[in-house]
Structure 1
Amino acid sequence: MILWIFLFLVGRIFAEECPYHGGNLVDDLMIVDWVDRRVNDPFPVQYNLLFQGGYINMPSARMECEGRIGIGYSSIPPYRLYNLRCQVTNFLEVSGNYRVFKGIPDPILSDFGFGNKADKGVNVKLSLLKPEDSLYKLPGIAIGAEDFLGTQTFKSKYVVVTHVLPDYNFEASVGLGAKRIKGWFGGALWMPWRHSCYRWLQPIALVAEYDATDTKHDPHPDGRKTQTPINFGLNYRFNDIFQFSANYIRGKAFAGSLSATYNFGYCEGFLPKIDNPPLHYPCCDDPIEKAFRKQKFSVHLIERGYKDLRITLQNKTYRTEDELLSRLRCLLAACIPCNISQVTIVLETDGFPIQEYHFPMEYVRQWSEGEICETELSVLVRRKEVCFPLHGTRTTLFSCPYEPFCFKLVPHTYTLFGSARGKFKYSLGVGAAVSGFLPTNIYYSAQVGYPLFTDLENVSDVDRLNPSQIINVRTDLIRYIKQRGVQLDEAYLQKGWNLGYGVFARLSGGYFERQYGGVASELLWYPLKYPFSFGAEAAILWKRDYSGLRFQHKIRKLNGFTPSYLSFTGSQYFFNFYYDWRAVDLDLKVKLGKFLAADWGARFEVSRYFPSGLILTLWYTYTNGKDMINGQTYYDKGVSLSMPLDIFYTYSCRKRFGFGMSAWLRDVGAISATGRPLYSLIREHR
């Protein structure tokens, strides 16, 4: 009943705005024009000083398009804020603030290289109804929470309603908050020159708000002084990327911000792919392996049966399956002899096959001659699990080993929040990596690093406020990265297998990371036809010395601030479950088992992937480890980002940039690297 009432009201609203008299072409065209203007000329979203959709200090119910990521800086006397934001979906906004208290030294940590007092917080806003959903005829409604993780010094929660009037270039909000946002608040925004003929005038937005911040209980003494709750200012958004703001707040101080955002989630690339080989390969008499090599494929094996070919190759260039199949279709149509009725393409990664494509050449040739379309051919090309032909039933036409040597320069970077008040520390340097394959397709990787810039010289590897009281499997990381000179980051071997029917396995051993080395194994069932998979993994690990190649056999454990050293051989083993929720572009992972600090529990990961290849991941770990911060049990949590680099290049490639960070550097829920995990390795190439 409620749904029918809602639909009736919406219908009446639209009917009043867009009258329709059947059979009148002019009215029909006016309706189309009205809808086009609403869809293609959306009212811009403005950011407040916390880098949320809003005004100055107060939020609104507005949301950006999903996939938009940004970085910014705000000055809100008496604080300086370094901000990040991400529009995870069209209805979920996440932002983070690293807040520095001006003129307030940390009573405990400032003497140890941590500077002024600081705090960090995470904000989230969930849209229940967006103004755009009704083409601005209905208001937007959102609920949100600020600083809901960590020390929660600036914690607040709110509900806000925003109505947008695009014909008047105006929006207004009213909301109700609790905690730091105390009681009723409101805001308004006007863009008087939005449709001006002068483009430099169009982005100007005048903003004003009623600020409900509870300044009487502000953590900073200078933040408790206020003369009026009315704030006002001016925003300027340039090229839909940069936003500048200048504001006058509390009747006594000037505030401002500078930010940059871009929709990396739907970015098709900043540069055209002019250096890619031509898509349509002309008919020629080149050997098949040479034709594939010209298209940037690495062919390792070509076998012939009675009337079929089996081509085993590695795709190290093309990131999407659509582009991969497009090039394979063109190659096969141009280069395969007419007496071959089927070609099987076996796709490999890290020395083992992961899946195969069956191309019926009769239909491939019909497609090349224009008799059937690409969509029809895509239905006829089957993707299947790898099958293994009987020995001696095929003739080898070509064989080439994997690349034995690949050298590259890589960043050598460590970042961490090293105290209970969120002090950000870093070490930046350069590294050199070499990888390749030994005989029998054993993968190897070795990497060394050299630190160039660091602010960790005076930082202790013991948290001065909340020292970890479980065995220190992670919190002594600072001892490792403070070492000078060239350091070995990793050096290990790994062998993978496809056991058939979607079952994969791997063994690895060596120096897996800066802190640990050992041996590890993994078994994974990852079928093609199901969205879920599961597996198991185990590792025996030894803790490395702070420098050099030797291992330690004892590990530190603190009682208060007093250290003791226990015998230690590390182990971790997990049962893993994965689910690819393709309807909403989410990848869900769960790890159940024993973590490195002998704590038992589960780690939950949610990854949002976008058409551009961007992947954003949030994780939360719940274990029985008793790690206390400020009197509360801490559970490891964090965020990571993985971005394809080919959006910046004039050619296709599969290289990625990855970065991740936990909320705090702690020992609970710790996991050591053990080589290249099977699920992510296979999923990336599928």
Structure 2
Amino acid sequence: MQRKYFKHTLQSGAILCFWAPALIAQADGLASYGSPGLLDMPSATATADGTLNWTTSLMDGHTRNSLHFQITPRLSGVFRYSILRKFDGYNTDLYDRSFDLHYLLRDERQHFPAIAFGLRDFGGTEVFASEYLVASKHFMGNRLTVTGGIGWGRLASFGEFRNPLSVLGAGFKNRPVYGWDINDTGRVSFDRFFRGDAAFFGGIEYQANDQTRLVLEYSSDAYMQEVATMGFKHRTPINVGLNYRYNDHLTLNAAVIGGAQAELGFTYMLDPRAPRAPGGTERPAPVLMPQAEIAALGWSLENLNASNTRLEAALRRQKLDLQSYAQSGSTAQIVMQNPSYRAEAEALGRAAREMANTLPAEIDTFEITLAKGGMPTSRTVIRRADLHEMEHAWDGSWQSFVRADISDAPDRLPPAPGVYPQLGWDILPYFRSSLFDPDDPVRMDVGLAASASYKIAPGFSLNAVVRQKVIGTLDQSTRLSNSILPHVRSDAPLYDKLQGPEITLLTADYLFRPGNNLYGRVSAGIFEQMYGGVSSEVLWYPQGSSLALGAELNYVAQREPGSRMGFTDYRIATGHASAYYDFGNSYRGQLDVGRYLAGDWGGTLTLSREFDNGFRIGAFMTLTDVPFDDFGEGSFDKGISFTIPLDWITGEPTRTGFSQTIRPILRDGGARVGIAHRLYEEVRSSNASDLEHGWGKFWR
């Protein structure tokens, strides 16, 4: 069964900067804000490149939950969700979403400290809004770290003095003050950066042993709002704390803030490049039989049916699907699909070895065409003699890639009799969540999803997903949309109130090749929970290219809330021109420009980091011609997303995974319809550029 349909049922719905491969000082720890620092104050350190860190900090009535990602060796970002009880002094709680950036300007040298600057809460309610410039230096074999810096905004609320940057211009002297309005959140106030009074902060960290770190800091944060309305006490700028490293992933934190507030918390570190089963648990790869033994078996070159039968059975054992087999002289040609291995190179390597073990000795060349949904995507030619020569070579992976001939596959062999039509199905659990509803910040549903795919011909299939909630709270939301735009997304809670089985996908899809380096798709039916219609797409993506260009055109209707098959009167044509680019070093970018569901025009920029094992973290932002005031809370659409491959957790070969998109707020501006089988994601794993990235698994 094509479990990839289940991936769409799991979805509940980066910032890329300068690359500097120099060695840098590793972080002594993360501050309570989730970014590199002491207790509350930042430091000029960084975590290990590519790592994710979740930090939770608990004080009386004040909770911070922060997700930190080390985007590059120098640049890191934080998404924070904070809960401040009775923040207005009465009974109103503040559920605050905020973003941070931290950038290491220079490394620590023998006689000079590392230097970093950062922005806190630069696109939220600005409750924590501040900027800083900080330096850190290690001593005593890195056991002692000394940090000192200067801060603005909230980091200049204690011990403040006149901004030294005011010598550059009068504009730095005062920090603009705005009346707080929920509709103003999400905007970046560039005119406040490094403005107004400044203050010094600093501290020392002492690594007592491998597990225990002691911290003493002088804080420039007076917790003014918390003291004024939440009953906080701030008696001293001196904060003290202790961090205990329980294991390689978990650190426990305790501190006294302001001489009066107890703070407890933890940090959990995750390295996406370190799967739970590093070597994988897939079955052993086939070992090449000596060529003399193959020749001694006397298999006939003319008996194609026997060759096809042996090869089909062998590929089935490797969990690969043989669709076509043919011979041309001494060349064997196959078309196969890989439903099992994340790295297409692993599928190619196993298929090539099985071909060498099951085909007549006279065959000296293997031509393997990879297909997605029956649509041919790329063709790899491998010589039999090269396989035997490189099987035990110390650099066999690199040599096999250099000698393989990877090219475009605009056409394919006819499918073998009996391959089509083909029915596949599966039943798996699903999980959906809704975050940041002020009435209940976390809602979720858990249930079962039944998916089915009926493949009629190469590229042409009927697909369906039906899910049934078992338990959950998504239907308990009572908040009504106040959007002045067409309610293309803000009415999403209404769709969660449907009782009984829910159809979330019911489409006819046709994938085809219009020409060399071109891919096409036509889809019709129910695309997702809220929309159905017709969709077409074309993609230009040459083999080995870092750049791909695409165009998509949709005509969709909004589904009726509470109805399984009904539609409202809302109809709209949408479409986008897209550019995809692989920057290398696991960084990718995507730019989509066009018309969105509410009729607004604009563009979406997505930047992500994707590791070779399929673990992906990204960030996106959309700006359209909808004014910030009309958009409402959040000002514009933005968020972060991540994908965790299932084989990263289990080690078992699979192409499925868990994907989640986190938006601070779901509004109507910049909304797109969800479409399965968008071409770039369908074909890129079999493009020569991605094959090269994963070729280290060719001999797995």
Summarize the alignment of residues 31-70 of structure 1 with structure 2, pairs less than 5 Å apart: 45-70=28-53
Aligned counterparts of 2:144 and 2:630: Cα–Cα separation in 1: 45
Aligned counterparts of 2:686 and 2:322: Cα–Cα separation in 1: 16
**Aligned twin of 1:459:** 477
Task: Report whether the alignment pairs 1:515 with 2:530.
Answer: yes
Further displaced range: 589-598 or 612-621: 612-621
Amino acid at match of 1:611: D
Summarize the alignment of residues 200-239 of structure 1 with structure 2, pairs less than 5 Å apart: 202-218=210-226, 221-222=229-230, 225-239=233-247
The offset of 1:409, in angstroms, is 1.0
Find the partner of 2:380 among 324, 349, 357: 357
Amino acid at match of 1:73: T
Aligned counterparts of 2:127 and 2:352: Cα–Cα separation in 1: 59
Amino acid at match of 2:95: A
- Shift in CA distance, 320/618, structure 1 to aligned 2, threshold 3 Å: same
Q: Deviations over 1:362-402 (max 9, x none)?
A: 433443587995533321111100153799xxxx8876337
Aligned counterparts of 2:390 and 2:685: Cα–Cα separation in 1: 29
CA contact (8 A) 2:31 2:41 kept: yes
**Aligned twin of 1:140:** 114
Find the partner of 1:529 among 529, 532, 544: 544
Summarize the alignment of residues 339-350 of structure 1 with structure 2, pairs less than 5 Å apart: 339-350=362-373
Task: Report whether the alignment pairs 1:446 with 2:464.
Answer: yes
Q: Deviations over 1:2-35 (max 9, x none)?
A: xxxxxxxxxxxxxxxxxxxxxxxxxxxxxxxxxx
Aligned counterparts of 1:543 and 1:63: Cα–Cα separation in 2: 46
**Aligned twin of 2:332:** 309
Summarize the alignment of residues 14-163 of structure 1 with structure 2, pairs less than 5 Å apart: 45-103=28-86, 116-131=93-108, 134=109, 138-163=112-137
Q: Deviations over 1:315-369 (max 9, x none)?
A: 1222224433432443343333221232110001122011010112343344358
Further displaced range: 665-674 or 485-494: 485-494
Task: Report whether the alignment pairs 1:492 with 2:543.
Answer: no
- Shift in CA distance, 577/267, structure 1 to aligned 2, threshold 3 Å: same
The TM-score with structure 1 as length reference comes to 0.82
Aligned counterparts of 1:73 and 1:502: Cα–Cα separation in 2: 48
Aligned counterparts of 1:373 and 1:633: Cα–Cα separation in 2: 52
Q: Deviations over 1:447-491 (max 9, x none)?
A: 22333444456633425xxx2111111100011113333222221
Amino acid at match of 2:148: V
Amino acid at match of 1:432: A
Task: Report whether the alignment pairs 1:189 with 2:205.
Answer: yes
The offset of 1:497, in angstroms, is 0.6
Q: Deviations over 1:620-659 (max 9, x none)?
A: 1110123527988811111110121112224222111111
- Shift in CA distance, 456/359, structure 1 to aligned 2, threshold 3 Å: closer
Amino acid at match of 2:201: F
Q: Secondary structure at the match of 1:378?
A: helix
Task: Report whether the alignment pairs 1:504 with 2:519.
Answer: yes
Further displaced range: 141-150 or 202-211: 141-150
- Shift in CA distance, 387/543, structure 1 to aligned 2, threshold 3 Å: closer
The offset of 1:670, in angstroms, is 0.5
CA contact (8 A) 2:369 2:378 kept: yes
Amino acid at match of 2:419: C
**Aligned twin of 2:601:** 600
**Aligned twin of 2:581:** 579
- Shift in CA distance, 232/262, structure 1 to aligned 2, threshold 3 Å: same
Summarize the alignment of residues 197-346 of structure 1 with structure 2, pairs less than 5 Å apart: 202-218=210-226, 221-222=229-230, 225-264=233-272, 266-270=273-277, 272-282=279-289, 287-346=310-369
Aligned counterparts of 1:369 and 1:471: Cα–Cα separation in 2: 63
Unpaired runs of at least 5, structure 1: 1-37, 111-115, 194-201, 555-567
Amino acid at match of 2:516: Y
The offset of 1:222, in angstroms, is 3.1
Further displaced range: 643-652 or 369-378: 369-378
Summarize the alignment of residues 352-391 of structure 1 with structure 2, pairs less than 5 Å apart: 352-368=375-391, 373-388=396-411
**Aligned twin of 1:612:** 613
Aligned counterparts of 2:89 and 2:536: Cα–Cα separation in 1: 46
- Shift in CA distance, 371/238, structure 1 to aligned 2, threshold 3 Å: closer
Task: Report whether the alignment pairs 1:477 with 2:500.
Answer: no
CA contact (8 A) 1:492 1:510 kept: yes
The offset of 1:123, in angstroms, is 1.5
**Aligned twin of 1:26:** none
Further displaced range: 180-189 or 408-417: 408-417
CA contact (8 A) 2:87 2:226 kept: no
CA contact (8 A) 1:49 1:256 kept: no
Further displaced range: 440-449 or 172-181: 440-449
The offset of 1:46, in angstroms, is 0.9
Task: Report whether the alignment pairs 1:570 with 2:572.
Answer: yes
Further displaced range: 667-676 or 366-375: 366-375
- Shift in CA distance, 130/546, structure 1 to aligned 2, threshold 3 Å: same
Aligned counterparts of 2:53 and 2:286: Cα–Cα separation in 1: 35
Q: Deviations over 1:200-230 (max 9, x none)?
A: xx21000010111143344862366311000
Q: Secondary structure at the match of 2:141?
A: helix
Q: How many residues align?
A: 607
Find the partner of 1:405 among 418, 424, 433: 424
CA contact (8 A) 2:27 2:36 kept: no
- Shift in CA distance, 397/73, structure 1 to aligned 2, threshold 3 Å: closer
Q: Secondary structure at the match of 1:443?
A: strand
Find the partner of 1:164 among 138, 142, 154: 138
Aligned counterparts of 1:232 and 1:371: Cα–Cα separation in 2: 53
The offset of 1:104, in angstroms, is 5.0
The offset of 1:307, in angstroms, is 2.0
CA contact (8 A) 1:308 1:343 kept: yes
CA contact (8 A) 1:470 1:627 kept: no
CA contact (8 A) 1:640 1:658 kept: yes
The offset of 1:122, in angstroms, is 1.5
- Shift in CA distance, 630/95, structure 1 to aligned 2, threshold 3 Å: same
Aligned counterparts of 1:457 and 1:211: Cα–Cα separation in 2: 44
Amino acid at match of 1:160: V
CA contact (8 A) 2:606 2:619 kept: yes
Q: Deviations over 1:138-175 (max 9, x none)?
A: 42211111111222221111111111225151111111
Summarize the alignment of residues 582-661 of structure 1 with structure 2, pairs less than 5 Å apart: 582=584, 584-628=585-629, 634-661=635-662
Aligned counterparts of 2:360 and 2:394: Cα–Cα separation in 1: 19
Aligned counterparts of 1:543 and 1:370: Cα–Cα separation in 2: 58
Aligned counterparts of 1:457 and 1:437: Cα–Cα separation in 2: 32
- Shift in CA distance, 355/97, structure 1 to aligned 2, threshold 3 Å: same
